[in-house]
Chain A
Amino acid sequence: MLAAILALAILAIIFGLLLGYGAIKFKVEGDPVVDQIDAILPQTQCGQCTFAGCRPYAEAIAKGEADINQCPPGGETVILALADLLGRDPKPLNAEHGTHGEKTVVIIDEQVCIGCTLCIQACPVDAILGAAKHMHTVIKSECTGCNLCIPPCPVDCIHIVPVGTTLQTWTWPSPRDEHVHSA
Chain B
Amino acid sequence: MSIPRKLWRIHGGLHLPGHKAESMQQPITDAPVPPELILPLQQHIGNVATPIVNVGDRVLKNQIIARAEGYVSVPIHASSSGTVIAIEPRVIPHPSHLTDTCIVIATDGKDEATPVAAVLSDYRQMDPAELRNRIRDAGIVGLGGAGFPAFIKLNPGPQLKIHTLILNGAECEPYITCDAMLMQEQPRAILDGLRIMQHALHAQRCIIGIEDNKPAALQALQAALHTDEHTLIEIVAVPTLYPAGGEKQLIKTLTGLEVPSHQLPASVGVICHNVATAYSIAQAISHQQPLIERIVTVAGPAIPKACNYRVRLGTPMKYLIEHTGASPSLPARLIMGGPMMGFAINDLQTPVIKTTNCLLALTSQELPKTQFELPCIRCGECARACPAQLLPQQLFWHAHAKDFDKIQDFNLFDCIECGCCSYVCPSHIPLVQYYRFAKTEIWAKEREKSKSDIARQRHEFHLQRLERKKREDEERKRKKKEMLDKVTQTDSAADAKKAAIAAALQRAQAKKATQASPQNVEHLSEQQRQQIDEIDKRRANPSTVASQPGKDNES
**Bound-complex Cα distance A170 to B443 (A):** 10
Contacts of B434 in A (CB 8 A): 174-176
Interface contact A167-B94, CB-CB below 8 Å: yes
Interface contact A167-B455, CB-CB below 8 Å: no
Interface contact A171-B441, CB-CB below 8 Å: yes
In the complex formed, the residue of A with least CB distance to B442 is A171
**Bound-complex Cα distance A172 to B433 (A):** 8
Kindly state whether residue B452 has any CB partner on chain A within 8 Å.
yes
Could you tell me the distance in whole angstroms from the C-beta of A13 to the nearest C-beta in chain B? 44
**Bound-complex Cα distance A166 to B465 (A):** 34
| Apart from A125-B459, A172-B441, 9 more pairs, CB < 8 Å | A42-B448, A45-B459, A124-B462, A125-B458, A126-B462, A142-B455, A170-B440, A172-B437, A172-B439
Interface contact A171-B458, CB-CB below 8 Å: no
In the complex formed, the residue of A with least CB distance to B433 is A175
The prevalent SS among residues of B at the interface is: helix
Could you tell me the distance in whole angstroms from the C-beta of A119 to the nearest C-beta in chain B? 14
Kindly state whether residue B493 has any CB partner on chain A within 8 Å.
no
Pick the 7 closest A-B CB pairs, nearest first.
A171-B440, A43-B452, A43-B455, A125-B458, A172-B436, A170-B96, A172-B437
Kindly state whether residue A59 has any CB partner on chain B within 8 Å.
no
Kindly state whether residue A63 has any CB partner on chain B within 8 Å.
no
Kindly state whether residue A70 has any CB partner on chain B within 8 Å.
no
Contacts of B463 in A (CB 8 A): 53
Interface contact A45-B455, CB-CB below 8 Å: yes
Kindly state whether residue A111 has any CB partner on chain B within 8 Å.
no
Q: Which of A45, A169, A171 has the most CB of B within 10 A?
A: A171
Kindly state whether residue B529 has any CB partner on chain A within 8 Å.
no
**Bound-complex Cα distance A142 to B402 (A):** 28
A-B contact pairs, 28 of them (CB 8 A): A38-B456, A41-B452, A42-B448, A44-B455, A45-B459, A53-B463, A125-B458, A125-B459, A125-B462, A126-B458, A127-B458, A142-B455, A165-B96, A167-B96, A167-B98, A169-B447, A170-B96, A170-B440, A171-B441, A171-B443, A172-B436, A172-B437, A172-B439, A172-B441, A174-B441, A175-B373, A175-B433, A179-B372
In the complex formed, the residue of A with least CB distance to B399 is A174
**Bound-complex Cα distance A145 to B402 (A):** 26
Interface contact A174-B437, CB-CB below 8 Å: yes
Kindly state whether residue B454 has any CB partner on chain A within 8 Å.
yes
Could you tell me the distance in whole angstroms from the C-beta of A18 to the nearest C-beta in chain B? 36
In the complex formed, the residue of A with least CB distance to B96 is A170
Could you tell me the distance in whole angstroms from the C-beta of A182 to the nearest C-beta in chain B? 9
Provide the B424-457 mask, 1 if CB < 8 A to any CB of A, else 0: 0000001001101101110110011000111110
Interface contact B461-A126, CB-CB below 8 Å: yes
Interface contact B430-A124, CB-CB below 8 Å: no
Could you tell me the distance in whole angstroms from the C-beta of A127 to the nearest C-beta in chain B? 7
Contacts of A32 in B (CB 8 A): none
- Residues of A that sit less than 8 Å from B by CB: 38, 41-45, 53-54, 123-127, 142, 144, 165-167, 169-176, 179
Contacting A at CB under 8 A, from B393-413, are: 399-400, 402
Contacting A at CB under 8 A, from B49-74, are: none
Interface contact A43-B433, CB-CB below 8 Å: no
Contacts of B462 in A (CB 8 A): 123-126
**Bound-complex Cα distance A126 to B466 (A):** 11
Given contact pairs A172-B437, A179-B373, A165 touches B98 in the complex (Cβ within 8 A): yes
**Bound-complex Cα distance A44 to B101 (A):** 30
Kindly state whether residue B32 has any CB partner on chain A within 8 Å.
no
Interface contact A174-B402, CB-CB below 8 Å: yes
Could you tell me the distance in whole angstroms from the C-beta of A183 to the nearest C-beta in chain B? 10
Could you tell me the distance in whole angstroms from the C-beta of A121 to the nearest C-beta in chain B? 9
Q: Which of A41, A172, A173, A179 has the most CB of B within 10 A?
A: A172
Partner of B440, one of A144, A166, A172: A172
**Bound-complex Cα distance A30 to B454 (A):** 22
Interface contact B440-A124, CB-CB below 8 Å: no
Interface contact A172-B95, CB-CB below 8 Å: yes
Kindly state whether residue B277 has any CB partner on chain A within 8 Å.
no
Given contact pairs A167-B96, A174-B434, A175-B430, A142 touches B444 in the complex (Cβ within 8 A): no
Partner of A175, one of B437, B453, B465: B437
**Bound-complex Cα distance A179 to B447 (A):** 27
**Bound-complex Cα distance A176 to B430 (A):** 10
Contacts of A38 in B (CB 8 A): 456
Interface contact B452-A42, CB-CB below 8 Å: yes
**Bound-complex Cα distance A144 to B451 (A):** 9
Interface contact A167-B373, CB-CB below 8 Å: no
In the complex formed, the residue of B with least CB distance to A171 is B440
Given contact pairs A173-B437, A175-B434, A176-B400, A53 touches B455 in the complex (Cβ within 8 A): no
**Bound-complex Cα distance A16 to B129 (A):** 67
